[in-house]
C-alpha cells in the first residue's frame, strides 16, 4: 500500500536523500521547507509523487495555514528541518538571540508540526522519525542543547503514541558531507580531522542517514520506539 510521507527540510542534504528513498519506493511524498525555489527544484529532480510545500515551521500561523495542504492521513513524518543559529557576539542580547534562534530552528520546527498533525498519524503503523545530531550527546552550546531537548521530547511522544501502535524514534548523525550545515567550514583539513575521530576513518554521506531513517519508518521497525539510532561511524558510541 502506498503511504503518505511528510519530510521537513526535504529540499537539500539529508532531507533530500530521505525524500528520494521514499519517492523511489513509490510513496507519496510532501517535502516542506521555507525556500520555494529549492523545494520546487528538489521535487522536479525526484519526480514521481513529490509535492513541495512552503512553510516556516517555526511560525505557528504558517503551520496552521499549511495543514490544509498536508495529507489527511500521514503514515510517516520525518522531522529533518533544522539549522544552527549564526548570531555571534558577547553580552546577554547576543546570547539570547543565539539560544532562542537555535531553539526555534531545531525544536519548534519539529514540535509545532508534529503536534499539529498527530491526530492524522495512521493508527497501528504510523511512524515519526526525528533527525537530531551527535551534538546533542557530546555538547555544542545552544545548538547541542536544542537537539538534546528533542531526545527528551521524543521519549514523551513515544509514550503518548505507543498505545495507538505508532512509533517515534530519533536518528542522530555525526559529521555528514553534502549538506548546507557546515558551509565552507568543512574543507579538506576539517574533513580529515573529523574523519580521524570515527572508527571507520571517514565522515558520513546523506544517503547513509536516509537509510537509517527509512528503516525506522518501515514495518519491520514496528517494535522499536523511543530510541536513538546513532549514525556517526563510531565517533561517539551509543549511550
Instruction: Please tell me the distance from the alpha carbon of residue 96 to that of residue 149, in angstroms, as a whole number.
Output: 17
CA nearest neighbour of 74 among 27, 161, 6, 169: 6
The contacts of residue 13 (CB under 8 Å, 6+ apart) are: 176, 178, 179, 180, 181, 206
Per the annotation, the verdict on 214 as an active-site residue is no
Q: Which of 143, 167, 228, 235 is catalytic?
A: 143
Q: Are 156 and 214 in contact (CB under 8 A)?
A: no
Distance separating alpha carbons of residues 31 and 164, to the nearest angstrom: 25
CB distance 217 to 76 below 8 Å:
yes
Residues assigned a catalytic role: 143
Amino acid at each position: 500500500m502506498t503511504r503518505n510521507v511528510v519530510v521537513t527540510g526535504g529540499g537539500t542534504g539529508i532531507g533530500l536523500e530521505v525524500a528520494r528513498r521514499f519517492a523511489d519506493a513509490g510513496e507519496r511524498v510532501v517535502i516542506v521547507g521555507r525556500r520555494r525555489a529549492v523545494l520546487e527544484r528538489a521535487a522536479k529532480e525526484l519526480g514521481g509523487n513529490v509535492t513541495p510545500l512552503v512553510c516556516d515551521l517555526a511560525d505557528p500561523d504558517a503551520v496552521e495555514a499549511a495543514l490544509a495542504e498536508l495529507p489527511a492521513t500521514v503514515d510517516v513524518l520525518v522531522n529533518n528541518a533544522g539549522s544552527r543559529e549564526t548570531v555571534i557576539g558577547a553580552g546577554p542580547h547576543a546570547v539570547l538571540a543565539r539560544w532562542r534562534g537555535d531553539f526555534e530552528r531545531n525544536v519548534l520546527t519539529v514540535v509545532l508540526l508534529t503536534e499539529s498533525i498527530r491526530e492524522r498519524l495512521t493508527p497501528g503503523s504510523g511512524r515519526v522519525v526525528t533527525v537530531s545530531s551527535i551534538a546533542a550527546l557530546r555538547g555544542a552550546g545552544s545548538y547541542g542543547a536544542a537537539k538534546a531537548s528533542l531526545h527528551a521530547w521524543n521519549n514523551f511522544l513515544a509514550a503518548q503514541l505507543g498505545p495507538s501502535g505508532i512509533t517515534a524514534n530519533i536518528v542522530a548523525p555525526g559529521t555528514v558531507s553534502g549538506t548546507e550545515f557546515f558551509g565552507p567550514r568543512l574543507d579538506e583539513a576539517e574533513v580529515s580531522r573529523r574523519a580521524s575521530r570515527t572508527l571507520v576513518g571517514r565522515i558520513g554521506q546523506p544517503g547513509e542517514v536516509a537509510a537509517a531513517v527509512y528503516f525506522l519508518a518501515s514495518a519491520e521497525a514496528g517494535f522499536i520506539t523511543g530510541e536513538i539510532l546513532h549514525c556517526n561511524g563510531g565517533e561517539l558510541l551509543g549511550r
